[in-house]
């Protein structure tokens, strides 16, 4: 059973399901960022930078680069969710990345060239909650498979 969960041939573990759901949410957000109406100020969307006037759901400042990053992160999550270890890496590593992005958003002057992605207050709050949520999912969803709960033999390895 442990081997099957690690190599993706068995039933998915909770951490894999959480990673798949999170990756799907990022893909959806990336796509919706390109949909006029759902993204307000669509005509004012820039490739990158703080001058982009587009806001997803009228709240979160986005740019073409921002949307592409969401799509890329979602695709990476789909690939990593194929294994328990990859799922944990995506969730815990992504959570740490988003906490770093939250700190970055707090530290920069939002009207400066450093605001490349771009981020606003709503983005910063979302990054804080995403960071803690993904980190918690990646670290706390514990299954026996892939956790080092038992010693294996070379024949158990894929």
- The model carries a pTM of 0.78
Give pLDDT, residue 64. 92
Instruction: Write out residues in the chain with pLDDT < 50, as ranges.
Output: 1-6, 8, 145, 147, 151-152, 157
Give pLDDT, residue 42. 87
Give pLDDT, residue 108. 83
Domain parsing of the chain, residue ranges: 13-140
Give pLDDT, residue 151. 46
b/e burial code for range 132-146 (CB count within 10 A of at least 16 → b): eebbebbeebebebb
Give pLDDT, residue 44. 87
Q: How many CB atoms lie within 10 A of CB 49?
A: 15
Pair 74, 23: CB distance under 8 Å: yes
Give pLDDT, residue 70. 94
In sequence order, what DSSP letters do the residues of the chain get, joined into one string?
A: -HHHHHHTSSPPPHHHHHHHHHHHHHHHHHHHTTSBTTEETGGG--SSSTT---EETTTEE--HHHHHHHHHHHHHHHHHTTSHHHHHIIIIIHHHHHHHHHHHHHHS-TTSTT--S---HHHHHHHHHHHHHHHHHHHH---STTTT-S---GGG--
Q: How many CB atoms lie within 10 A of CB 24?
A: 14
Give pLDDT, residue 1. 43
Give pLDDT, residue 152. 46
Pair 14, 155: CB distance under 8 Å: no
Give pLDDT, residue 158. 53
């Amino acid at each position: 059973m442990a081997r099957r969960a690690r190599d993706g041939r068995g039933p998915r573990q909770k951490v894999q399901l959480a990673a798949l759901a999170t990756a799907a949410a990022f893909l959806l957000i990336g796509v919706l960022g390109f949909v006029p109406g759902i993204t307000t100020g669509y005509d004012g969307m820039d490739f990158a930078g703080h001058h982009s006037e587009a806001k997803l759901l009228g709240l979160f400042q986005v740019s073409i680069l921002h949307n592409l990053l969401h799509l890329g992160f979602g695709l990476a999550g789909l690939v990593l969710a194929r294994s328990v270890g990859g799922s944990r890496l995506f969730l815990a590593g992504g959570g740490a990345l988003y906490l770093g992005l939250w700190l970055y958003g707090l530290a920069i002057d939002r009207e400066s060239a450093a605001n490349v992605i771009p981020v606003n207050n709503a983005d910063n709050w979302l990054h804080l909650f995403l960071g803690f949520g993904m980190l918690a999912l990646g670290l706390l969803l514990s299954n026996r498979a892939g956790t080092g709960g038992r010693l294996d033999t070379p024949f158990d390895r894929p």
